[in-house]
Structure formats: structure tokens, C-alpha cells
Structure 1
Amino acid sequence: MPEGPSIVLLREEAMRFRHRTVRRVEGDSRQDIQRMVGRRVLDVRSWGKHFLLAFSGFSLWVHLMMFGSCRIDAPKDRPPRLALHFDTGSLYFYACSVRFIEGPLAAAYDWRADVMSPDWDPALARRKLRSAPEALVCDALLDQDVFAGVGNIIKNEVLFRIRVHPCTRVGDLPPRKLAQLVAQARAYSFDFLEWKRRFVLRRHWLVHRRRECPECGRHLELAHLGTRQRRTFWCGHCQARY
């Protein structure tokens, strides 16, 4: 599943269609996608893992789910879920979820929850975490209401960075560790973005899909943990369980 930084990159690439008019629409989506024909894109935005095209009165919402993708001017050899054609090029979406948001985007999202937004509010994230003390940190980091944009890679790497076991309960974290968790969720997301821009992201993974701990050399643990049962890599020696 593309994580927040990947959607930011898509947003940046799709900015070329801002203020452009949709000339033709195709795809097998069951939504009324033809409503976009003849409409001008007012803005290109993202929130967490959501890609957004704003029109007057409504917005297109796209989620790439687990295996979705987007291509610009380079269609695959199969029908898209949605394709938008402009005078200056085309956007193609595959294996994704598509719907419309009515009204202004400002009312649809709390932008303070997006870890990559300039409106990100770490104090709000800490308050939300304190309200769910029984949650495991491996689940909390994937909660899009708290950390919009954080996915499984970021989760694994952040927990290793702050040396916290993924099965630690949020309520058991010392205040210093809770603050580190929130800070690194954002910091690692921006590192992820920069590494992905330079096509070196995988070189910087310390535990995700790795076999040995880069700190102590011990074999890394791997299990599907938490209520989400997402694949989790961690070092049983270096990451403390509080």
C-alpha cells in the first residue's frame, strides 16, 4: 500500500494538471465519473494516503488500497479504474477505490492529523494517543485518525528508531518515548520522501524486510502483530517492551 510520502510525490507530479480542464474520462468505476468532463481542476491535494483533485463544489477522492497504482501519460495494457484526459496529458488509476467528496475539502478533513501537512499538530496526536492507553504502539502508528499517511514501513522503522517493542501498550510508554513516537512518525515520513525521490529508499531500511539487526547483529523477529495483523519486523534485544 502506498504510504503518505508516495502520495505526496504523486501529488507533486500531478500538479501539472492544476487549473487544467478535463476533456475526457474513462474507466470501469461505478461512480458518476463523467461529471468531471469539462470541469477545471482547482487544486491537487493529498491527505495521508488519499489523493485528491478539487473541482468547484466537489472533489475526486482516490485511494490506491493495497495494490493500486497511478500513471501519468503511460497507461498499462489493461483498462483503468479511472482515466482523466487533459490537453496536457493523462492520469491513469488502477486497482484503486474512487469516490466523490461533496463540498469543500477544508470541511472534509482534519489537516492537523496528516503527518506531512504543514498543519500537522503533534500535541493533538499526543492527546489522541493518551485517550487510547490500551492500544499497542504497532496499531497506534497505523491509526489514520492519529497519523494520517503512516504505513507499515514507517511503522517498523519508527519503532526501531526509538527502540520500542511493537507490542508495548501506548499507556505504558514513558512521556519521553511517547513524544519520540510522535516526532519520529513525522520525521521518518520526510526522510522516506527524500529517499524515494532519490530512488534509494530500500537502502535506508534498517529492519523492514531485513534479517539482522543493524545495531546488535541478532536475528530480527517477524510476526503479524496487533489488531491489524500487519507484518512487523523488530529486534527483541534492542527494542524494549515497557
Structure 2
Amino acid sequence: MPEGDTVWNTARVLHRALIGGRLTASDFRVPQLATTDLTGATVLSSGSRGKHLLLRVRTPRDERLTLHSHLRMDGAWRAYAPGERWAARPAHLIRVVLRTAEAVAVGYHLHELALVPTQDEERLVGHLGPDLLGPDWDAAEATRRLGAEPDREIAEALLDQRNLAGIGNLYKCELLFLRGVWPWTRVGDVPDLAGMVALAQRLLAANRGRWTQSTTGSLRRGETSYVYGRRAQPCRRCGAAIAKREQGERVTYWCPRCQPEPEGSIRDELASGGGPTPGRPTADGAAG
């Protein structure tokens, strides 16, 4: 699933391809925008807000409009030279095509596609928390929002874009591993919540500008994550088998030894999934 850094990178792709150009044609392949024609509009900017893309244009009548899209699990934008073959995805997944004299931008499997007056953008993204990669980033406010629901599981709270915008399942799992936190821990029991927020911002910022996401420092295939996507493989720190379970509507990967379940915690949610439950703390189970 595209996360904040991937969406940031995608916004830069559209920026390089379209900014300053005048649209020579537009083709919207979704019912709500089927009759929309942006021909003649000038592309002013391309930006991201968490996992949302915002492409701003000025029409020949001097209207300022924003094309909003969300990539969700499988959306993507690609930029092509005029006449270049569109090979990224099957044609039936195309939702919008924007053409200038220099480039063609194609949006595949986009979600929440909407065209609104730029002054009304907040109606679409105003609910989001501070953007981990945006100019509005405010670590103190993100920490406050996370801590406002102390009984919530920390893994679920990190994915809530109303708390801080940009974290997806990959960064959720990796962040909790790096902080040594059991994913089902209550927010109120997480030590140094501010430190976790600061690390989240550093992880996303480190991957900004490249497509390979790494939390380990290595860009080699198979070496880019500590726990995410590594079920049953040995932990890179302690050698224990990485575990995987459903948590809410997503799956969580964690190391039972480096992220031990706190003494006295309730394991109803884990037990309902069957299989072994995480181990208790051990002498070598601490993670920094």
C-alpha cells in the first residue's frame, strides 16, 4: 500500500511532468467527472497531504481548482512522453488522463477522485493530522492527538490519519519494532510517545525521494525491513521467528521476543486468532 513517502514521491513525478504546462486534453473515466473538461487549464502545483494527492490548476476563466485523488491500496500515477506506450497497468484501470504538449499523466485505479475549488480543499483533507512530510508537521500536536485515546491499541492509533498523516502498515510495524513495543499495547502504556512520533517522521523522511522503502539502512532486496513481510523468518536482532496476525482490518508483523507482551495484559484479540501467542519478556528481549 502506498504510504506517505510514496505519495510524496508521486506528487513530485506529477510536478516534474506537468507544472507550468497547459492541458491540451483531459479524459476522466469515472461517472462523477465524466463530462469534465480541463482543456486550457494551467497546472499550478502538485502536492501531497498524508496519503492524498492534490493537483492544482487554473482554468482559462481564472478558476482555481484542485484535483484530489487517493491511492489507497493499488492506485498509481504515471507520467509518459507524448507517444510513449502506457505500460504500467491494464487500460481498464485508467481513471484519468491529463495531457500537455510535453507529457501525459495517467492515473490508474484512483480512489476518492474529486475536483473542487482550491479554496475548499480543507473539506477533503482538513480532518487529517499533521503531515509527517509536510510543511504543517507538528510533532507536539501529533503526540497530543495520539495520546488523546489512551485505551486504544497503539498499532491502530498509528494508522489513524487523524492523528498523524502518512503512516501505513509497513511503517506501523517497523516503528513498533524499533521502539520495542508490543503492537496491542494501550496508547496510555507506551513509554515515550513523543520519541515514537519523532522516529516515525525520521523514517518517512529518510525514504523521501526514492521508491525503495527501507527502515534497516539497506536497499538490497530482502534486507529492507526488520519485521514487515517477514513472517516466520528470523528476527534480525534476536533470531526469534517473526510473527504475523490480523489486527483490526490489517495484519501486523512483530518479534515476540523484541516486542514482548507486557505482564498482565489482556490477550483476547490474539487468542481469537489461534496459534501461539507472543512470549513474555526475556532477558535479551529489550529493543531500543
Q: TM-score, normalised by structure 2?
A: 0.76
Separation of aligned partners in 2, 1:163 and 1:198:
20
The residue aligned with 1:81 is 95
| Shift of residue 206, structure 1, vs aligned partner | 0.9
Q: Return the match for 1:162 from 179, 184, 193.
A: 179
Q: Give the match's secondary structure for 1:158.
A: helix
**CA RMSD across the alignment:** 2.2
Instruction: Considering Cα pairs closer than 8 Å and 6+ residues apart, tell me whether 1 or 2 has the greater RCO.
Output: 1
- Percent identity between matched residues is 30
2:205 matched to 1:190?
A: yes
- Structure 1 segments, 4+ long, off by >3 Å, are 105-112
CA contact (8 A) 2:129 2:164 kept: no
Equivalent residue for 1:179, pick from 181, 186, 194: 194
Instruction: Report the Cα distance in structure 1 between the residues aligned to 2:100 and 2:237, rounded to whole angstroms.
Output: 50
Give 1:82 deviation, angstroms.
0.6
Q: Which protein has the bigger helix share?
A: 1
**Contact 1:142/1:150 (<8 A) preserved:** yes
| Structure exhibiting the larger radius of gyration computed from Cα positions | 2
Which residue number corresponds to residue 254 of structure 2? 234
Aligned length: 238
Per the alignment, in what secondary structure is the counterpart of residue 137 of structure 2? Answer: coil
In the alignment, the residues of structure 2 paired with residue 119 and residue 78 of structure 1 have an alpha-carbon distance, to the nearest angstrom, of: 37
Is this contact kept in 2: 1:147–1:185, CA < 8 A?
no
Change (3 A) 1:147 1:83: same
Tell me the equivalent position of 2:40.
38
My pick for the range that moved more, 196-205 or 122-131, is 196-205
Segments of 5+ residues of structure 1 without an aligned counterpart are none
CA contact (8 A) 1:65 1:95 kept: no
Structure-1 separation of matches of 2:220 and 2:50: 19
SS state at 1:36 partner: coil
How far does the alpha carbon of each residue in 1:165-214 deviate from its partner, in whole angstroms, 9 at most, with x for none? Answer: 1000101113x2x1122111111112233553699375321111112211
Alignment match of 2:235 (pick from 202, 209, 213) = 213
Report the 3-state secondary structure (helix = DSSP H, G, I; strand = E; otherwise coil) of the residue aligned with 1:54. strand
Corresponding residue number in structure 2 for 1:5:
5
Q: Corresponding residue for 1:64? A: 71
Amino acid at match of 1:144: Q
CA apart distance, 1:112: 6.2
Name the SS of the counterpart of 1:145 in structure 2: coil
| TM-score normalised over the length of structure 1 | 0.90
Of residues 50-59 and 90-99 in structure 1, the stretch that sits farther from structure 2 once superposed is: 50-59
Aligned counterparts, 1:115-130, within 5 A: 115-130=132-147
Counterpart among 129, 136, 143 of residue 153 in structure 2: 136
- Whole-Å separation in 2 of the counterparts to 1:153 and 1:32: 33
* Change in CA separation of 1:59 and 1:65 when aligned onto 2, cut-off 3 Å: same
Task: State the partner residue of 2:106.
Answer: 92
1:136·1:166 contact (CA, 8 Å) conserved in 2? yes
74-83 or 20-29: bigger deviation: 74-83
Give yes or no for contact 1:165–1:239 (8 Å, CA) kept in 2.
yes
- Matched-pair contact (CA < 8 Å) for 1:112–1:119: no
Question: SS of the residue aligned with 2:6?
Answer: helix
Of residues 109-118 and 127-136 in structure 1, the stretch that sits farther from structure 2 once superposed is 109-118
Q: 1:54 to 1:72 in 2, by over 3 A?
A: same
Q: Is the 8 A contact 1:125 1:182 kept in 2?
A: yes
Distance 1:201 1:139, change over 3 A: farther
Task: Mark the CA change 1:142 to 1:40 in structure 2 (over 3 Å): closer, same or farther.
Answer: same
